[in-house]
Each structure stands twice: as structure tokens, then as C-alpha cells.
Amino acid sequence: MSEIDEQNAFQVVHEGYNMHEAIEEAQRCLHCKIPQCKKGCPIENDIPDFVHELSKGNLGSAMQIINNKSNLPAICGRVCPHEKQCQGHCVLGKKGTPIQIGKLEQFIADFDTKMQLRREKLPQKTRGKVAVIGSGPAGLTVAGDLAREGFAVTIFEGQAEPGGVLMYGIPEYRLPKVVVRSETAKIEALGVNFVCNALVGENGLTVDSLFAEGFDAIFMGTGTAVPQNMDSTPGSKLHGVSQSTYFLHNVNAFNEGALGRDQVPLKDGEKVGVIGGGNVAMDAARTAIRMGSDVTVIYRRTQEEMPAIQSEYEEAVSEGVKFQWETTVEEFIAGKNGRLAECRLKTPDGERIEKFDRIYLAIGSRPANRIVSTTEGIEVDEKGYVKVQERPYGMTTRRGVFAGGDVVHRPQTVVLAMKAAKDVAQGIAQYVDALKLMKDVGIKIEEQ
Ligand SMILES: Cc1cc2nc3c(=O)[nH]c(=O)nc-3n(C[C@H](O)[C@H](O)[C@H](O)COP(=O)(O)OP(=O)(O)OC[C@H]3O[C@@H](n4cnc5c(N)ncnc54)[C@H](O)[C@@H]3O)c2cc1C
């Protein structure tokens, strides 16, 4: 682990701005008439407006502008692929350095958390009752938007704490858990009720039981919890071959003090291979190197084709992660003790055997079928992704049940899950309003 200070291995890699730096950076903004940065943001955050308020030191106003579009700015500020989105579109980037929009958003949101800058006036929760299943970016966004619009929202989350991938996937050095907790606390402060350790589809808690409890609509923001494996590759079931998401979950729990070091499936000094080329692979590789391993990422395509954010790749390289391009594992080979010892690799230069103590798979994931299999009428495609319709936006084939985020559009990004969820929240509002209107005028509606 040559490049990383072992004592501070999980400390945040990129510190945020202080007040002076943030205002100075905000003052560089040209406040373009047709802001390209806003076009580059999937949720069309009013970037020049909040940057302008920040440049004048008006942090309350800046936060208010952000709140109009985003429920999770402290998170987006840290983990969005800014280089492809807002910052990638900033005109200053054409000849020099773009405005560091992510860091400014992070600064404003963190300042708001620390100083409790403003409290919103909230409407009475009289417009209807909505259940949200899952508390990742999609579920939190639907809950926040609908609570602000006068709906009584309860989130049902299978894990012990809200946040989804934000809490259990993305590592501490990129997204501190204290930040996830403060963002979910802000959503709770909007009047959203959280029920954790509540896995819908088990122990009698089902979509039907939620309707029977009186919810008018239900949102599924359940993500893609089932990781893809390599069943067709010989040796894939060997001890020592496991999932990156499981490893990351364990290391997060270890960092939180919930697990001992011996419960993390990785020993100091082990030689690790991570199979995949996306952000999950980068997180697993950078986390394994922080746990004292020698790490190689094995990716079947070229460097240019790798889907991981460029900056993630560059940081992995600078931390000592090695990469093998256009390489596939043809066989996982057991040692004398019966566990993984080597891999047979197919490389552009031919086949070779290489020693590996651990392999973490990061080759994709798909939705679990826990809800679909316990509910009549929710159609999914051949891979288990939930089918939704345009009107009301985001409704599944079961009336009153909506879905959005990764469970619909395949694994993407935090902000794209938020974008989808914002649109679905509007679909839910329209649906519940129409339902109430029909009841009010005495039109009989069948049970959901
Ligand atoms: C390791 C990793 C790193 C990533 N890094 C980035 C990054 O840097 N930037 C970026 O933009 N994106 C990143 N992503 C992708 C991003 O996190 C996801 O696209 C996003 O979290 C999807 O949001 P979601 O709300 O749809 O699902 P999720 O975040 O997966 O949330 C789903 C929630 O539903 C809960 N749930 C599931 N089933 C049930 C049930 N039956 N009952 C109750 N609760 C249930 C789960 O416990 C979970 O909390 C990363 C993903 C991973 C795995």
C-alpha cells in the first residue's frame, strides 16, 4: 500500500473549500445568459443563480435555490460525475479551468447543515398518503418532493439505516457517512417518516398490506440489489471469489465500528483482483488498497471503453492500483487448501496463470424480485427491470404502484436516479389528486 497513509486510509480524499475559497471561486462565474452548466445537469439545478448568491455571501439564498431542485446537494456535490455534467459544460473550461461547481454545491450544503441556515415553511400533510419502498437517492427524492407538496410520506427501508448505495456502497473516503446521515435528517425534517429494517416482500409486509393500511400510492425505489456472478466460469464458487458490493458493505460496516477487522473478507497483504471497469470496480480496488492489498483491476475491454469516471480511474492509478486491459478470467483455480489461489487469464498476449488470493466481482447488478414475486400485476422485463408508463408518469402495470431509479432504468448514477424520481413524484401527485377527486365526487373506484 505504497501510496496511502495507512493511519488515515479512509479519510476523505478531497477536502472541501473554506468560506474564502468558496466565495473566490464563485466570483469567477461569468453568469452566462444561456448557462451551459445548467444544461449539463440532469436535474437542471439553477447553478449560476446559487453561485451568484454565494459570490455575494448570501448562503441562505443559495441554499434555497438549490433546495428548489435537489434534496441531496451535499451528496451530488461529492459524487456526481461533474466532469461530464455541469463542470464539463462550463464555458470557462474551454480555455482554462471550469468553475468547480460540485465543490461549491458541497460547500453551501455543508454550511447549511452546520449552521442550520434556514427552515422551510411546510404545508400540512393533507393531500394523500404515499409509501416509498427504498431510501436510496430515488426514494429520498420522491419522499422529499412529495412531503414539500403536502403528502404524508413513509419510507420503508430494508436496511438498518437509510441511504441505499450512499450508505452501504460508496466508500467513506469519497462520501462520509456523516454527510449521508445529515442529508437524510433534512428529509426527515420535512415530515417524512422512516421505518428501517422493513423489507417489503417479507414477513407479511407487502404492497397489498401497505394498500390495506391506507396508502394511496406506493413508490418502488429498490435499486439493483442482485449482483451478477460468473457462474459459467470454472471455479467461480471457490472460497476467495466474492462480490465487490459485499466487500464494500463490510468495509463500510468495519469503518463504522459495526464489524471487526477479521470479519472483512480480506487479509493484510493479500493479492486482489477486481473484475470490472465501472465505478463499483474503482471503489472496490481503491478500498482494497486502503486495506493493505496489492490490487489489479481486470477489465475485458480497452481503457477508452472503461465506464468508470475518468477521475476515479486516475486516482486509482495514483494510489497504486494496476490495470490489465482486454483481459478476461477463464478459470479460477484452487490451491491445496481448496480456496482460490490463481486465475487463468486470457490477455491480448495469450493465456497465462497469475496468483490471486481474492477476486471481487464488479460486473453489474439487477433488481431483486422480492416485491414483484409477492405482488400481483407488476410486470418486469426479462432481466427483472420494472416496466413503467408515461401517464401517470412512472406508474407500473399495477395501478397505484410507481417505480423509478435503477430498478427501472438499470444501474446509472445518483443524479439520474434523482431525475427519474422527481418526474415520478409528479406522476404520483397527479394520480393521488385524481383519485381523491373521483372519491370526492362519488365515483366508485375498485380496490388497488
Ligand atoms: C459501489 C458503488 C459506487 C457508486 N458510485 C457512484 C458515484 O460515485 N456517483 C454516482 O452518481 N453514482 C454512483 N453509483 C451508482 C448510484 O449509487 C446508483 O445509481 C443509485 O444509488 C441508484 O439509486 P436508487 O435509489 O435507484 O437505488 P439504491 O441506491 O440501490 O437504493 C435502493 C434502496 O432500496 C432498498 N430496498 C431494496 N429492496 C427493498 C425492499 N424489498 N424493501 C425495502 N427496501 C428495499 C435498499 O436497501 C436500498 O436502500 C455507485 C454505485 C455503487 C454500487
Query: Bridge-partner residues for 395, per DSSP?
Result: 402
Which H helix or E strand runs over 347? strand 340-347
The minimum-distance atom of ligand 1 relative to the CA of 80 is: 11
Q: Mean pLDDT throughout 285-295?
A: 96
CB 247, CB 360: distance < 8 Å: yes
- Residue 118 binned pLDDT confidence (cut-offs 50, 70, 90): low
The reply to whether domains 6-115 and 128-225+367-440 share a CATH topology is no
The reported pLDDT for the residue numbered 117 is 75
State percent of the chain over pLDDT 90: 90
Q: Is 18 left (phi over 0), alpha (psi -120 to 50) or beta?
A: beta
Cα separation, 438 vs 416, whole angstroms: 33
Contact (Cβ atoms closer than 8 angstroms) between residue 157 and residue 194 = yes
Tell me the backbone φ, ψ of residue 102, rounded to 5 degrees: -60, -45
Q: Which residues line ligand 1 (CB under 6 A)?
A: 79-80, 133-139, 156-159, 164-165, 169-170, 199-201, 221-223, 225, 245, 248, 279-280, 283, 368, 370-371, 405-407, 411-415, 417
Query: What are the structural domain ranges in the chain?
Result: 6-115, 128-225+367-440, 229-244+253-364
Ligand 1 centroid to residue 138 C-alpha, Å: 8
Q: Is the pLDDT of residue 384 over 90?
A: yes
| Global pTM value | 0.95
| 8 Å CB contact between 167 and 252 | yes
**Cα of 422 to ligand 1 centre, how many Å?**
16
| pLDDT tens per residue, range 421-441 | 999 999 999 999 999 999 999
Atom index in ligand 1 nearest the CA of residue 198 equals 43
3-state secondary structure labels for all residues of 160-199: CCCCCHHHHCCCCCCCCHHHHHHHHHHHHCCCCEEECCCC
- Whether 9 shows a pLDDT value over 90: the answer reads no
Tell which CATH classification among 3.30.565.10, 1.10.1060.10, 1.10.10.10, 1.20.140.10 matches the domain 6-115: 1.10.1060.10
Q: What is the mean pLDDT of residues 209-223?
A: 97
Atom of ligand 1 minimally distant from the CA of 156: 43
Q: What confidence tens digit (pLDDT) does each residue in 364-381 have?
A: 999 999 999 999 999 999
Rounded to whole angstroms, how far apart are CA atoms 133 and 220? 5
For residue 444, pLDDT over 90 is answered with no
Q: Which CATH class is domain 128-225+367-440?
A: alpha beta
Q: What pLDDT score does 121 carry?
A: 87
Does residue 4 have a pLDDT over 70? no
Please, what CATH class does the domain formed by 229-244+253-364 belong to? Answer: alpha beta
Q: How far apart are alpha carbons 241 and 224 in whole angstroms? A: 20
